[in-house]
Chains A and B, each alone.
Chain A
Amino acid sequence: EVQLVESGGGLVQPGRSLKLSCLASGFTFSNYGMNWIRQAPGKGLEWVASISSSSSYIYYADTVKGRFTISRDNAKNTLYLQMTSLRSEDTALYYCARQGYNNQFAYWGQGTLVTVSS
């Protein structure tokens, strides 16, 4: 069974940093591209970043480019999102999701909540 478990969320002041993790199990992690997708409270879904299976290709949403860094450790079956210079508009539930065949998101974690507030 595919499982994605996010962690690392919490309350952080504007301008500070936070690092999210997503532990994967139930599939060969190193074979799949992975993504971070967020959802602000009561709002829709916003793709944040993608990383290919071998980390060769990395993409970011314009809203986070230069502030967030996606990475992965295939030996640890773990996906990361390093977030710096956090803003109030980054407040959201952050999901990790496994890439599907046609750039859809076939499996999602339960999410980890990031709240940026003073």
Chain B
Amino acid sequence: DIQMTQSPHSLSASLGETVSIECLASEGISNYLAWYQQKPGKSPQLLIYYASSLQDGVPSRFSGSGSGTQYSLKISNMQPEDEGVYYCQQGYKYPPTFGGGTKLELK
């Protein structure tokens, strides 16, 4: 199975700050990488697919980048509603696997 390693495990950001979350795959995944946001008590929501494509309705302050085994999610201009847990997920090979999650809080 492809292992997905996220970092950091948690972070806090001030209003308006830019933050980045990293995701490392145990082997190349050809940009088959998605990012999800999960708020407390809610279902995960797809933010980014194919490493850098923004899902419809997702604010443009979210962006994704990367290639090969290394990917990142950037959140520009941190807002209160951006608090939550973020997961990466590879869809290159079965089984689909998720990273362990990054908890983002507003400072």
Interface, chain A (partner B; CB < 8 A): 35, 44-47, 50, 59, 61-62, 95, 100-111
Residue of B nearest to A108 (CB): B43
B87 touching A44 by the CB < 8 A rule?
Answer: yes
B100 touching A61 by the CB < 8 A rule?
Answer: no
**Cβ-based interface call for B19 (8 A):** no
B34 touching A102 by the CB < 8 A rule?
Answer: yes
B43 touching A109 by the CB < 8 A rule?
Answer: yes
Residues of A within 8 A of B55 (CB): 106
Among candidates A103, A106, A110, A111, residue contacting B96 with C-beta atoms closer than 8 Å: A103
Residue of B nearest to A106 (CB): B46
Among candidates B43, B91, B99, residue contacting A104 with C-beta atoms closer than 8 Å: B91
**Cβ-based interface call for B71 (8 A):** no
B92 touching A103 by the CB < 8 A rule?
Answer: yes
Residues of A within 8 A of B34 (CB): 100, 102, 104-105
